[in-house]
Structure 1
Amino acid sequence: MSLVLTLLSVVSIALGAFFFLVGTLGLIRLPDLFSRLHALTKTDNLGLGLVILGLLPWVPDPFHALKLVLIWLLVLLAGATGSHLIAKRALRGDGEDPTP
């Protein structure tokens, strides 16, 4: 594998880890439920996408690459669905109070 491809892979994985860290900080520091949900879903989806993009050059065959992309798509779907359900429940008032 070329040095440039390896470097791009490492940078992509490092950026993905950075976005995971930023999402965690958003979860800790943001004031209300909706802001925390927004921070988590956006940064985690982008972080996972960057990590998968960084791993793609290292897979042995296209089948493994397809599995990685499928995992990312399923996590996108699950994250969006879970966030929607949490926000809907908070708006109805049966869950956590959305304001601190």
Structure 2
Amino acid sequence: MQTQTHSTPTSIKLPVELRDRLQNLAKVRKRTPHSLMLQALETYVTREEQRESLRQEARAAHDEFMLTGLHVTAEEADAWLAELEAGNDVEPPKCHV
């Protein structure tokens, strides 16, 4: 987790059961509930940013396909990936319409 140079307070209302679980985990881990929440939020936000980036890339690729029709078949992609997995440095298949 990155150290923040500037922090701003915020509040969150936790259900009592979740708050108790968090406090118990913090005690067992010898950490503060605050540090566990920061770690959880950092992990979640990073994962969701990566997921959103992948979604945007997929959307752009789909839009490009819809404009050009260029593609490779699943069989072509599978064969290429199998070669890479086998350790062979091969060029990707050529796109076609």
TM-score bin (small chain):
0.3 to 0.5
State the structure with bigger RCO (CA 8 A, min sep 6), 1 or 2.
1
Using the size of structure 1 for normalisation, the TM-score is: 0.34
- Determine which structure has more spread, i.e. the larger CA radius of gyration: 2
Q: TM-score, normalization: structure 2?
A: 0.35
